[in-house]
Structure 1
Amino acid sequence: MSFPLLSIEDLNVTFKTSKGPVMVNEGISLEIREGEILGLIGETGCGKTTLGKAILRLLSGNAKIEGKIVYRGTDLLSLPEKEMRLFRGKEIGIMFQNPSACLNPVLSTGRQIAEIYRYHESMGKKEAEKKAGEMLELVGISSLRGDDYPHQFSGGMLQRVMVAIGLALRPGLLIADEPTKGLDTDTKLQIAELIAGLVRRENASMILITHDLELAGRLADRIAVMYAGEIVETGMAAEVISNPKHPYTFDLLHSLPGKGFRTVSGQTPGPLSPPSGCRYNPRCDLRLKACSQVHPALLGFCDEHFTRCFLYEKGRRKETVAQPTLNVHPAPGYVEEEGAWNC
């Protein structure tokens, strides 16, 4: 039985804007266990990246973070900034999306990796450069290319450099934010499997932030699905992929080419004006009368499977289900006679 490495408890992230406060993450509660890869899935704009940055307190000054983020017994939100800097990189590493924008164009890649060792490990210049070369070799890049600049690398090679930076200090937790974005299929799989393989070799943990449900299902142990700033489903990866409980997860799966490539009606709501009740109800083909009136809680379904959906509750009659707006079948596990889910 693995134990939590990181616990996120009732996390709310609100930004001050000219139009008033905007809550981008609401009521987020998650656990990441020792040696586990957690896939954090959702469409662009759902709040995944904000959550990743909130863990390391890397959000802008107009952000307000409430709740608890506990890493190995320490609440990161209670630490002064000086102590928090010691956690970044050494205890919790992060890989940002778009390495071209993250890497310094006027410094060689080797030097950028070496600076990590000089700052955190107080290494001398030569020793740090040697460690940087070893990290490049580890991710499949010749150490001789340590003198090359970011513009001299392809997109896939830049991602490898970001892997080297994220894992340089052997952190206990790596946050990988869309690490395969913009890459072709073959390169995407190579990079994703490289990251997952190195994380597992170090017996570390990872939060894999991605919109690619197929990729998460291939690499992750558990999956958490986000929609409009909140978690709508969590469970073991194989179970979520094979037997999704939330209609959004089901629709997301069936938007994949191998599952029908079906589009979902409507638009993802913005954080300024989320719909009342269930946030997915305006787009859901299985919505009940209560869905537009009451906000559902995230409740345990069976074993480690949780969902935020009224279809889970027993006693709902099929006549309460609205007429589908698309010609689709209900998600697996939904029993029309009872209006409820079965394990």
Structure 2
Amino acid sequence: MKLLELNNVSIDYKTIEGNIRAVDKICLSIEDGEILGLVGESGCGKTTLIKSIIGLLPQNGTVAEGEIFFENENLLKLTKDEMRKKRWKDISMITQSAMNSLNPVYKISWQIVEAIQAHKEISKEDAYKRAEELFELVGLEKGRLNDYPHQYSGGMKQRAIIAMALALNPKIIIADEPTTALDVIVQSQILERINKLLENYQGSMILVTHDMSVIAQTCTKVAVMYGGKIVEYGEVNQVFKEPNHPYTMGLKNAFPSLVGEKNDLISIPGIPPNLLNEIKGCRFKDRCPFSIEKCSQENPKKTNIEEGFFYCHREEEREKLRVLASKQETWLQENIKE
């Protein structure tokens, strides 16, 4: 059953320099109980996309076209009050920076209890008991509920935010870079805690990150974003073992593997495209070592594969491209066509 479905969603930002199409015709669906990873470089549109789902785009951002269905109900047709009722209860969010997500002048307990009582008829005492259960669930001592945010470490703040996201047993959780700004030890602990929660949690999750290793550790499906578009989508194991889009191949090279031969990491040269300008053809063409003339003239068509899809003009040559993409010299700046 499709819990969440995005149909041709495009999002614009109004800026002093002009309109920016930050997200362009995104089509995605999330099944009940599925964990989808959304991966890509900073600025590719990941956070913009998820904020449109939960109705929290900034004032200069609008969904220019498309539909967002949650349980067959178009979220874009809801009023602000109707959308506010769905947040936390049906759709909750683990925000990108826990350091800035908690109110510094209120105790953690008050912030969790307020969220619960805002969506459920429940006494303050029962809401507090629920908060204690949530703290035990995320590995925090319930005695720390009456502390202020400044008394928490970064990892504790992140766990508190996760607890708040689970407060009303939502059907889908959106986690936006849940391990940002944490050291690798705390990051590992947070991911381990999320995995344990997901084993017992019956809902779905969208995990947003730029780190492919986090996706591999947590998710079942992955969508790769570049320049405001989905360039590849599929089962995590399939996408990581046999990536089909050159950008996914480049991302894979940029992260170390814990198994197999140890190789030097390979970065992708260049920078993402300027979305203020009209882009003709493939958005990755200026950084792609495999681009051909057709890439500059036409948008690549969708190629469907088992459990997924990708967009590339050289779809018939992808096995050969995988071999070339694993070599350092392929990605040298001088080998990229200007």
With the length of structure 2 as denominator, give the TM-score of the two structures. Answer: 0.90
One-letter identity of the residue aligned with 1:18: I
2: CA distance between counterparts of 1:260 and 1:304? 31
- Aligned residue for 2:256? 257
Q: Aligned match of 2:330 in 323, 328, 332?
A: 328
What is the CA distance between 1:124 and its match in structure 2? 2.0
List aligned pairs for 1:220-235, cutoff 5 A: 220-235=219-234
- Aligned residue for 1:100? 99
Q: Aligned match of 2:10 in 9, 12, 35?
A: 12
* 188-197 or 21-30, larger mean C-alpha shift: 188-197
RMSD, matched Cα: 1.8
- Aligned residue for 2:294? 290
CA contact (8 A) 1:277 1:296 kept: yes
Deviation readout 1:56-91 (Å, 9 max, x if unpaired): 110122222121110111110111111111111100
Identical residues among aligned pairs (%): 41
CA separation of 1:209/1:274 partners in 2, compared to 1, >3 Å: closer, same or farther? farther
- Aligned residue for 2:281? 277
What is the CA distance between 1:12 and its match in structure 2? 0.3
Q: Give 5+ residue unaligned stretches, structure 1.
A: 319-324, 330-343
CA contact (8 A) 2:38 2:46 kept: yes
One-letter identity of the residue aligned with 1:262: I
CA contact (8 A) 2:75 2:83 kept: yes
- Aligned residue for 1:309? 312
What is the CA distance between 1:326 and its match in structure 2? 6.4
2: CA distance between counterparts of 1:189 and 1:33? 27
CA contact (8 A) 1:285 1:326 kept: no
What is the CA distance between 1:274 and its match in structure 2? 5.7
CA separation of 1:236/1:274 partners in 2, compared to 1, >3 Å: closer, same or farther? farther
CA contact (8 A) 1:92 1:175 kept: yes
What is the CA distance between 1:328 and its match in structure 2? 2.5
List aligned pairs for 1:126-275, cutoff 5 A: 126-258=125-257, 260-273=264-277, 275=279
1: CA distance between counterparts of 2:195 and 2:46? 19
What is the CA distance between 1:257 and its match in structure 2? 3.1
* 35-44 or 192-201, larger mean C-alpha shift: 192-201
2: CA distance between counterparts of 1:257 and 1:221? 20
What is the CA distance between 1:158 and its match in structure 2? 0.7
* 50-59 or 131-140, larger mean C-alpha shift: 131-140
- Aligned residue for 2:90? 91
One-letter identity of the residue aligned with 1:152: Q
Runs of 4 or more off by more than 3 Å in structure 1? none
1: CA distance between counterparts of 2:292 and 2:197? 45
Deviation readout 1:89-110 (Å, 9 max, x if unpaired): 1001101111111110001111
CA contact (8 A) 1:228 1:274 kept: no
